[in-house]
């Protein structure tokens, strides 16, 4: 007998997905969707992993599409300036890496979908601040901190 915090449910089939309903209602449109899906899959498969990497002040961050953290590397230099500075540097560096990954994803969507690609990527939450892609202004600070 289930306890008060346990619930039991009968197994039922899940409702059809929106894509399944669309396919049933409009086969010609479904064929177009399938072609688009294949095109996007082909472009992303050919490109390999889409990652962004950035470095500043002894911190290197690598992220996947959307900013999913893949790795953080710290040098002894990164630890010299205290926890607050390190945290700020990691966050700023991750933002730059995310901008690079998201820019690459938008390029791939545009390659697969044409002009609609950028809008699709932004709809998926893959927008970015182009200012983060400008020349690395951390070079002088990194070099002088040695």
> Phi/psi of residue 9, each to 5°?
-135, 150
% of the chain at pLDDT higher than 90: 40
At 80-122, the pLDDT tens digits run 999 999 999 999 999 999 999 999 999 998 888 888 888 888 8
Confidence of residue 141 (pLDDT cuts 50, 70, 90): very low
Lowest mean pLDDT among 17-21, 44-48, 108-112, 113-117: 17-21
Is the residue at 8 inside a domain? no
Task: For tokens 């700023």, name the residue.
Answer: 92
Judge if 128 and 86 occupy the same domain: yes
Question: What tokens were used for 80?
Answer: 């010299």
How many domains does the structure of the chain reveal? 2
- The domain in which residue 36 lies consists of 17-48
Instruction: Classify residue 92: in a domain, yes or no.
Output: yes
Based on the domain organization, do 76 and 141 belong to the same domain? yes
Could you tell me the pTM of the whole model? 0.67
CA nearest to 115, candidates 104, 123, 106: 106
């Amino acid at each position: 007998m289930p306890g008060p915090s346990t619930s039991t449910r009968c197994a039922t089939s899940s409702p059809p997905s929106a894509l399944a309903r669309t396919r049933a209602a409009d086969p010609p449109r479904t064929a177009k969707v399938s072609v688009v899906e294949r095109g996007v899959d082909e472009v992303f498969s050919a490109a390999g992993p889409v990652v962004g990497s950035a470095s500043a002040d002894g911190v290197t961050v690598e992220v996947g599409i959307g900013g999913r953290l893949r790795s953080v590397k710290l040098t002894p230099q990164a630890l010299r300036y205290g926890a607050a500075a390190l945290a700020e540097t990691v966050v700023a560096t991750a933002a730059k890496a995310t901008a690079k990954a998201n820019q690459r994803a938008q390029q791939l969507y545009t390659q697969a979908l044409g002009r609609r690609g950028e809008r699709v990527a932004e709809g998926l939450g893959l927008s970015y601040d182009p200012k983060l892609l400008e020349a690395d202004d951390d070079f002088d600070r990194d070099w002088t901190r040695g």
